[in-house]
Amino acid sequence: MTPGDLLVVVDGAVDAPFSGRGRLEVVAGQVHFGEAPFDGSPEALWDLLRRGSYPSTTPPTVGALAAAYEQAGQVVGVHVSAALSATVARAKEAAARVQARSPCQVTVVDTRSLSVGSGLIATALVRALDRPGTDATAIAREAQRLPGLLHTFALVQDVDALRAGGRAGLLPPGRLDRHRPLLLAVRGRAVALEQCRDRRAAVDCLAAHLRHSLGTTTGAGAGVGRGWALGHGAAPDVTSVAARLSDLLGCPPRFVVPVDPTVGVHVGPDALIVASLTEDRVR
């Protein structure tokens, strides 16, 4: 089977610059204020979040995922962590539904991550589709290996965002200072690591945890060969943060993108999500 026979399907909470990518389909979730879906601009949503108005989110429906899956003979569904979202469960139900009525082969991948972490896996697969001689079946098999090579960390600028966004369970026990950023590690579930005294210290801490996970050291070239990416919650300092992380990690990011609204509702404005694959080339 050739790469052209394979389609990569992602949910909306998988963040990457997917515009114009062939052989890739995005199935979005929804943001709701009460019973009504939010249909405003991303800027309008961030403004609402900054004013403390937090909506709810829903993952893609089984029907929408099934409709995307049945477009190709072989599909890899790349989705956010099953411990953080119902998307993987719905994806498996959609895959079973499609495979029961057609010869389509669907591989559902739980990335054990979210946002740009899941996005790094999806873009690695799409790049592999563009390489001559890469077999679609091999890509589907390798897609299941990549989550084990992925490291994702999130910096939540205001811990009240987690409470308001329905993710209070991610907060550690005890008193937290809402004015100090909280660092989370995401490996399947999210684990609170520490609160930092200010944003600059938090960015340094973010880079330190990532370097430790990758076994890299500080300095130019330390991160060469390891792809990393940065997502942000409409952060006004994202350019300087990307430059600082590039310096600390030793190489520039694969991409920098705003996080999807379905992610932003839970991590809040000014959040940062950084992820890296220890090996970002599909074999």
CATH code of 62's domain:
3.40.50.10170
In a domain, 37, yes or no: yes
Would residue 72 count as lying in a domain? yes
What confidence score (pLDDT) does residue 168 get?
63
2 pLDDT above the threshold of 60: no
Q: How do residues 171-213 score in pLDDT, each as one tens digit?
A: 666 666 677 899 999 999 998 898 999 999 999 999 998 888 7
Mean confidence (pLDDT) of the chain: 87
Mean predicted confidence (pLDDT) in 72-91: 95
Q: What is the mean pLDDT of residues 68-93?
A: 95
Instruction: For residues 164 and 133, state if they share a domain.
Output: no
Using pLDDT thresholds of 50, 70 and 90, give the confidence band for residue 1. very low
Same-domain pairing of 228 and 113: no
Indicate if the pLDDT at residue 137 is higher than 90. Answer: no
144 and 8 both lie in a single domain = yes
235 in the same domain as 187: yes
Report pTM. 0.91
Full residue range of the structural domain in which residue 245 is found? 149-277
More confidently predicted of 227 and 59: 59
Do 241 and 168 sit in the same domain of this protein?
yes
| Claim to verify: residue 154 and residue 136 sit in the same structural domain | no
Whether residue 62 is predicted with pLDDT greater than 90 in this model: the reply is: yes
3-state SS record for the chain:
CCHHHEEEEEECCECCCCCCCCCEEEECCEEEECCEECCCCHHHHHHHHHCCCCCEEECCCHHHHHHHHCCCCEEEEEECCCCCCCHHHHHHHHHHHHHHHCCCEEEEEECCCCHHHHHHHHHHHHHHHCCCCCCHHHHHHHHCCHHHHEEEEEEECCCHHHHHCCCHHHCCCCCCCCCCCEEEEEECEEEEEEECCCHHHHHHHHHHHHHHHHCCCCCCCCCCCCCEEEEECCCCCHHHHHHHHHHHHCCCCCEEEECCHHHHHHHCCCCEEEEEECCCCCC
> 281 falls in which pLDDT band (50, 70, 90)?
low
* Mean pLDDT across 117-134: 89
Checking if the pLDDT of 230 tops 80, the result is yes
pLDDT for 216 equals 53
Q: For the chain, what is the domain count?
A: 2
pLDDT tens sequence across 11-48? 999 999 987 666 899 999 999 988 889 988 989 999 99
Based on the domain organization, do 160 and 108 belong to the same domain? no
Does residue 282 belong to any structural domain of this protein? no
Pick from 148, 180, 196: which residue ends a domain? Answer: 148
pLDDT at 167: 72
Picking from 104, 126, 148, the residue at the C-terminal end of a domain is 148
* 96 and 169, same domain (yes or no): no
| Structure-model confidence comparison of residues 269 and 3, the more confident one | 269
